Amino acid sequence: MLQFTVNEKLCTRCGLCAADCPARIITQEGKALPSIRPDQEAECLQCQHCLAICPTAAISILGRNPDNSLPLSADSFPRLDSMSRFIRGRRSIRKYKDENVDPALIRQLLATLANVPTGVNRRALTFTVIDDKAVMHRLRENVLAALATAIKAGRIPERLKYLQNAPPAYYERKEDILFRGAPHALVVSAPPDAPCPAEDVVLALAYFDLLAQSARLGTVWWGMLKMVLETLPDLKALIGLPPRQRYYYGMLFGIPAIHYPRTVQRDDAAVVKRVSL
């Protein structure tokens, strides 16, 4: 049940909810209140556009009270110059302080992350978080031990020589090239029957990347995790992934141990093609 309700006293019959509904299932004509036929409820994307666009907060759907939504105005969003500086200044962090991030901040980031866009608003993503540095340490030890065993058994192909360097770097030189000494990690995964699972995963992590860095945390895309788990799929169970899970990716995060006082200069690095018909 969608629980689509309209406050008759507040509704102005402006028709915005019907015009903006992506599924085109809201109808509103003349002085009638907006409505959704029962036989069309299953077509709802549950995007809540109708709740968000109503200028008088007259619409409720899925049991949501519009008064509990955050109000928005033109000043609610960062200005272009601020975002441009933010994007230019964002760096991959590979050195972290050996301390946990405030659990309340992690919960806030993940709650916000639930609002990222997904294909057809499927929202089938799973966010697996390692929020304790002690758990991260045990995962690091398990992965590196399994990797060392696989190397001795000749299970790591020569093209993945970088992985072969990880155990000796860690055990002999105390250099953590796989986990970067990060206290935390987020792994986003999607089911294969999602409309666009690979894109959903990457998009969610990109949003988390910017969210975390706006909270003064450091992040780095965890390509090494994907490399290890695809080479040794049995290790996927360590983070709750099934052995045949295809659509997933990870990100390391924590409190940075370094600071960059300026941006880099690479605005000319993009290849821009203009379409003219």
What's residue 121's pLDDT? 95
Predicted confidence (pLDDT) at residue 161 exceeds the cutoff of 90: no
Q: Can you give the C-alpha Rg of the chain in angstroms? A: 23
Q: Please, what's the b/e burial string for 206-222 (b: 16 or more CB within 10 A of its CB; e: otherwise)? A: ebbbebbbeeebbbbbb
Q: Is position 144 within any domain?
A: yes
Could you list the beta-strand ranges (E) of the chain. 5-6, 26-27, 35-36, 59-60, 126-130, 184-189, 218-221, 248-254
Q: Is position 176 within any domain?
A: yes
Asked if 150 and 19 sit in the same domain, the reply is no
Query: At a CB cut-off of 8 Å and minimum separation 6, what does 164 contact?
Result: 151, 156
Asked if 62 and 197 sit in the same domain, the reply is no
Asked if 62 and 143 sit in the same domain, the reply is no
Asked if 147 and 220 sit in the same domain, the reply is yes
Query: At a CB cut-off of 8 Å and minimum separation 6, what does 142 contact?
Result: 235, 238
Q: Point out the domain boundary residue: 68, 97, 112.
A: 68
Number of domains in the chain: 2
The CA distance from 40 to 267, in Å, is: 48
> Tokens in use for 238?
């360590």
Q: Is position 24 within any domain?
A: yes
Q: Is position 231 within any domain?
A: yes
Asked if 53 and 118 sit in the same domain, the reply is no
Q: 208 to each of 62, 87, 161, 264, how far by Cα in Å? A: 26, 13, 30, 22
Q: Is position 259 within any domain?
A: no
Asked if 118 and 250 sit in the same domain, the reply is yes
Q: Is position 265 within any domain?
A: no
What's residue 162's pLDDT? 87
| CATH code, domain with 15 | 3.30.70.20
What's residue 10's pLDDT? 98
- The backbone region for 270, taken as left when phi is positive above 0, alpha when psi lies in -120 to 50, beta otherwise, is beta
Asked if 95 and 187 sit in the same domain, the reply is yes
| CATH code, domain with 173 | 3.40.109.10
Asked if 64 and 94 sit in the same domain, the reply is no
Asked if 107 and 202 sit in the same domain, the reply is yes
What's residue 1's pLDDT? 87
* 79-111 residue pLDDT tens: 999 999 999 999 999 999 999 999 999 999 999
Asked if 40 and 97 sit in the same domain, the reply is no
3-state DSSP call for residue 242?
A: coil
Percentage, residues of the chain above pLDDT 90? 96
Asked if 106 and 242 sit in the same domain, the reply is yes
The Cα angle at residue 14 between residues 10 and 16, in degrees rounded to 5:
105
Q: How does residue 167 score in pLDDT terms, banded at 50, 70 and 90?
A: very high
3-state DSSP call for residue 108?
A: helix
What's residue 48's pLDDT? 97
* 202-216 residue pLDDT tens: 999 999 999 999 999
What number is the average pLDDT over the span 215-220?
98
What's residue 260's pLDDT? 97
Instruction: Record the pTM.
Output: 0.94
Q: How does residue 240 score in pLDDT terms, banded at 50, 70 and 90?
A: very high
> Tokens in use for 247?
């659509």
What number is the average pLDDT over the span 248-271?
96
Asked if 109 and 26 sit in the same domain, the reply is no
For residues 162 and 87, the model is more confident at 87
* 22-75 residue pLDDT tens: 999 999 999 999 999 999 999 999 999 999 999 999 999 999 999 999 999 989
Q: Is position 128 within any domain?
A: yes
> Domain range holding 37?
5-68
